[in-house]
Each structure stands twice: as C-alpha cells, then as structure tokens.
A and B are shown apart, each in its own frame.
Chain A
Amino acid sequence: MAEQGNPPIDTSKIKAILQRRKKKMKRLLSHCVHCSLCAESCFLFMAHKGDPQYMPSYKVINSLGKLYKKKGKVDRETLEGMKGIVWRNCVLCRRCYCPVGIDVPSMITFARSICRSQGVYPQPEDIPKESWL
C-alpha cells in the first residue's frame, strides 16, 4: 500500500468545509446538553464495557466539536487522533439515540469528510495495530 506521505494540512480548506454546514452543525453541537443518555444506544459502547470514548456525544465533541472550536486550525497529529474516533469508534450504524434529537451520524460523517479532505483516513496497516473490537 502506498504511504500517505506528510503533505501539510490545508487549514483554509478545512475552514471552508466547516463553513458550508456551520449553521446546522454548530446548532447541533450547541444543543447537546452533555447528558450521556446516548451512551447505551451505541453497541460499541456496550461492547467496550461502558468506555466513555465510545459514547456518541464523546465522539462528536472530540471530532467535529474540536474542529469547530479550533476553527479548522488543526495539525496532522490532531486529525490522526480524530481518525480513530470517527472510523474505529463509529460504524455509522445510525443506532444512536439522543433525547434532544441531535443527528449524531451526520456529524460523524461530516468529520470523516474533513479528515479525508486532508488525506487522513484508515489505512490497511492501521488495522492490525489497533483493536477494532
């Protein structure tokens, strides 16, 4: 498999992508009341014996939430860290429930698209190193 290489992160491109759905995404992020009632609806959370990093709210806050908080000014290391959250910790099964009605999968999908725009996505060699279950 070809190496990703380390091209510089185009923060202006990330910012432009974030801007496109800012109204919707920032609203959804701000309306999360951080209640954690979404947790048990995620089967990965249940399979990992209640590890908070698999909670839908945790995933969103630490991926898309972080991108908006930093206004897109992130480095490769940050995006690589997010890669695990949005790909390993979520399979987009859409099972997640939110009492307020926040659409978590759309936010994870959006975070994935931002990572992809910078060439950050799971590589086959990542899989043996990390436990996917």
Chain B
Amino acid sequence: MYDLIRGPLVWIAFVVFGVGLVYQVIQFFRLTRKKETLYVTAASPPKDSEKRKGKMDRIHEAVCYLKKTVWYSHSSVMIVSAIFHFFLIVTPFFVLGHSILLDRSLGFSIGSLSESMTDGFTLIVLFSAAFFFARRIAVARVRAITTAYDYLTLLIAVAPFLTGYLAYHQWFDYGAMMFLHILTGEVMLIAIPFTKLGHMLFFFLYRFFIGSEHSLSQANRTW
C-alpha cells in the first residue's frame, strides 16, 4: 500500500490535478463569451486629469478602494484568510523534505527554507484553519449555510499540514503519519479541480474575466 501511494498514486494525483484544472479553464471559456466592456468597476481609478498623480495620491486611491471592500468590513477574516492562503501555497514548495524528494526523484529542486521556518509556517496554517473552523461553528450566519461538506473540505485542505507536522515531530507512529501525510496530500490535489477548493483557480477567472461591478480588471466576458 505504501508503494502505491508513494509511487503511482503521486503521478495520478498530479495528472488529475493538472488535467482537471485545464479542463475547468477550457470549460470556463466555452461557457462564457466576450461582450462590450461597459462597466466602470469599483477598482477603476477616479478620473482626475487636472493634476499629476504622485505616490501619495495613488496610495490614497488604494486606501479609498480598500475601504469599499471586505478588507475594511471584515478585516480580521480577510487578514487571516490572506495569511492562511499565502502559507498554504508557499509552505509545500519550500519544505526541506519535499525539496529532498524532488531532488532524488527528478534531479532538481527549488531550494528550501529552514526547518524551523517551515515548521512555523505549518503552525500558522493550522491556527488559521482553526480560526475558520471556529468561525463556522460560532458565527450564526456562517453556521446557517454550513454543511458537512464544508467541514470535509476544510479537513482535506488542512490534513496534509497536520499530518506533516505530526510526522516531522514524530508524534504518534511516524510511519502511519507519513502514510497519511502522503495520502491526504494526494486527496487534496485530486479534490481541488472538482470541489469548492477550485476557488484557487476560479477566483482569478471570475474576478478578472467576468465583467461586473466588482471585477478587478476591465473584464469583458459574460456567461
């Protein structure tokens, strides 16, 4: 079983992840079409041709824009979310263990950060996930739309980090923790294109390509 998850299942997971994302991108462009750009979005800078804009003007514009977004109305959630997503993506690339595996398997690696740093990053991800879990239970309006599926996807996202942390610190049986770490990582990769974890791709597709008041660019596509 270990040989399976350490060998073929790794390739299957990456292929399903890659092909799944490509499929979703293709489907997105097939299901949408170009239209005339009509919207002045919330991200559009105010028209001000009378004075040359300096750095302070641009900073002021950025702050004014952010005040109209959830970064202002839900600062704590957005800050924790930003930190969570940043370390969720960065940590796996720079963990020493992954770097060594990559070097031994494919003959190259992208370097790694110190183990104490990546250990800290993992803890940040785990504490952020705990914040989201607590929010699901404690905040009434989030609870109103929460189902078992939400807890499951949070578990899928966090399990590789939790099992990796436990394995690194050799809490419980190391072999079992490593087995679970590899398996949960593969489950997460396979799940991304086909579950709500796909927002990692669709956030960019929807906010940058679909034209609406809340577009982050001069988006010109519609469903």
Contacts and interface: CB of A to CB of B under 8 A. Distances in A.
Interface of A: 23-24, 27, 30-37, 39-40, 50, 52-53, 55, 57-58, 61, 94, 97-103, 106
Interface of B: 27, 31, 70, 73-74, 77, 139-142, 144-147, 150, 195-196, 198-199, 202-203, 205-207, 210, 212-215, 223
Contact of A103 (B77, B145, B195, B210): B210
Given A36-B142, A52-B145, A94-B213, A24 B223 contact: yes
A23 B141 CA distance: 28
Contacts of A31: 196, 198-199, 202, 206
Grouping DSSP codes into helix (H, G, I), strand (E, B) and loop, the A interface class, with mixed when no group exceeds half, is loop
Given A31-B196, A36-B139, A52-B144, 13 more contacts: A24-B223, A34-B146, A34-B196, A50-B141, A55-B141, A55-B144, A58-B141, A58-B144, A58-B145, A97-B214, A101-B215, A102-B206, A103-B223
A30 B206 contact: no
A23 B27 contact: yes
The residue among A34, A37, A98, A106 with the most chain B CB atoms within 10 A of its own CB is A34
A33 B196 contact: yes
Which 7 pairs, one residue from A and one from B, show the smallest C-beta to C-beta distance? A101-B206, A52-B144, A52-B141, A101-B207, A36-B142, A34-B145, A36-B141
A27 B140 CA distance: 26
A99 B223 contact: no
A53 B199 contact: no
Nearest to B213: A94
Contacts of B74: 37
A99 B141 CA distance: 16
A61 B206 CA distance: 19
Nearest to A38: B70
Contact of B142 (A32, A34, A100, A101): A34
Contacts of A24: 31, 223
Contacts of A39: 141
B70 A97 contact: yes
A101 B214 contact: yes
A35 B73 CA distance: 14
Given A24-B31, A32-B196, A34-B150, A100 B214 contact: no
Contacts of B144: 36, 52-53, 55, 58
Contact of B203 (A40, A94, A101): A101
Contact of B145 (A27, A36, A101, A106): A36
The residue among A24, A37, A61, A102 with the most chain B CB atoms within 10 A of its own CB is A37
